[in-house]
Amino acid sequence: MPSKELAAPKRFQDASGTSATSENKFLREYREVRVLGKGSFGTVRLAETESGVFVALKTVDLGRGEKCDEAHVLRSLKHPCIVALLESFETSTKRGCRAHLVMEYLPLTLQKTINCRPMSPLDCQIYSFQLFRALAYLDTLQIVHRDIKPENLLVDKSKALKLADFGSAKRLNGEKQSCNEGYFCSRWWRAPELVLGCKGYGTAVDWWSAGCVLVEMMRGQPLFCGTSAGIQLDAIAQFLGTPSVTDLKAMLQCGSISGPQLAELAKPRYSPRPWADSLPAFRDNTSALAIVAGILVYDPAARSPPGEALVHTFFSGLVNETTLPSDIFDFAAEELSSCSASTTHTLLSWKISKSEIGSTTKSATDPSQPLRRTRAVVGECLNAGDFIPPAKRFRPFAGDPTESSKSKFSFTFKPPAASSSESHVQKNDIFSSRAEDVPVNVPIFRLQSVSSDVSMGAEEMDVDI
């Protein structure tokens, strides 16, 4: 449902504020509420559908013959921690075309949630766990995001997090190193190998950015704040220490920096600082310091992969928490494939434990939940008003309650046959303590048609009772 704080749009209009006839789809199905943000890869607006659902609509101007790579990447992704592409379409412009990407809308960014204050350990765990899940998924697909920062991480009130803005994303697929040239990723979250100009990077550049985001949540502000490429590398070295020649070779791989340049860069200037001094709010949280130390290292191959980071002791207490995003443990097969066998076993055990805890808590605290009956209790039906559908299990009805359907239940009162002279009420009847206060013909429930909150799959309809 629309958020109360959002004013209803006054009229339909296209993304650029014009009313060109080529924008018929936008005019018909979406109307602009306000601009959410602008960047080098397009403009994002909050829009409302005809049914009153808010969506994020991103428009990207393309030249003739150009394709929207972001739409192509998003179509191939399906993960609870990555923003979903609902649809995309293009419209003609004088210079080429304009791509419209309709995505799910989340009202906040992690940047606004941090708000220049250190976050609680639990919030750091919840948000970073979801971020690492998204990166484990992308690592399997060999897709590098290349612009991970708090501004591109969307969150909602349930603390669900979704990675967004794939305008810089690229599918690696063993491409030549020269294909990965260019400046991308905001400087403060940029991996040191990219600062040095490495062209043969991999998904580990995203892992570094995620480590910077985690540190920012723990500090309330970014850690490495350089004003240029050279100063950025110096800012990193002030905390991690000056990189050694081995570190530089690992970051550059087939880079073009010569031996003397490597020696100059490796010239000792800084010693590494203890992470406890850099993260005073987490000084006594050894697991938090350990996970940061395992990710923010110079050598890309030595950084903790996101799939393995999910089972770090820093996250071990999440399974016992009751207020978590609903799908935080709904692991995709792709992200699990990036994990070792022991890690996969641990993650699946967390999922099972959480589902058991959730179902127990829900049934114990929510009296509105329907009673689940099995075929074993059919013979215990004690009154005519009890009805047990022929199904192996009950599921809440997920359809539109306003639609008529032959697969719903409705009940009406029908009196029994008038020929029966036998009273249906005894003196100790539950409806009254006096038989004369109750009419002889007591209405009982009869099944008339189908319209309840019970839905059954086709495989469940062949059960004999």
Catalytic residue among 147, 165, 206, 247: 147
Q: In the 3-class helix/strand/coil scheme, how is the chain assigned residue by residue?
A: CCCCCCCCCCCCCCCCCCCCHHHHHHHHHEEEEEEEEEECCEEEEEEEECCCCEEEEEEEEEECCCCCHHHHHHHCCCCCCECCEEEEEEEECCCEEEEEEEEECCCEEHHHHHCCCCCCHHHHHHHHHHHHHHHHHHHHHCEECCCCCHHHEEECCCCCEEECCCCCCEECCCCCHHHHCCCCCCHHHCCHHHHCCCCCCCCHHHHHHHHHHHHHHHHCCCCCCCCCHHHHHHHHHHHHCCCCHHHHHHHHCCCCCCHHHHHHHCCCCCCCCCHHHHCHHHCCCHHHHHHHHHHCCCCHHHCCCHHHHCCCHHHCCHHHCCCCCCCCCCCCHHHHHCCCHHHHHHHHHHHHHHHHHHHHHHHHHCCCCCCCCCHHHHHHCCCCCCCCCCCCCCCECCCCCCCCCCCCEEEEEECCCCCCCCCCCCCCCCCCCCHHHCCCCCCEEEEEEECCCECCCHHHCCCCC
Told to judge if 147 belongs to the known catalytic residues of this protein, a careful annotator would answer yes
Q: Which sequence positions are flagged as catalytic?
A: 147
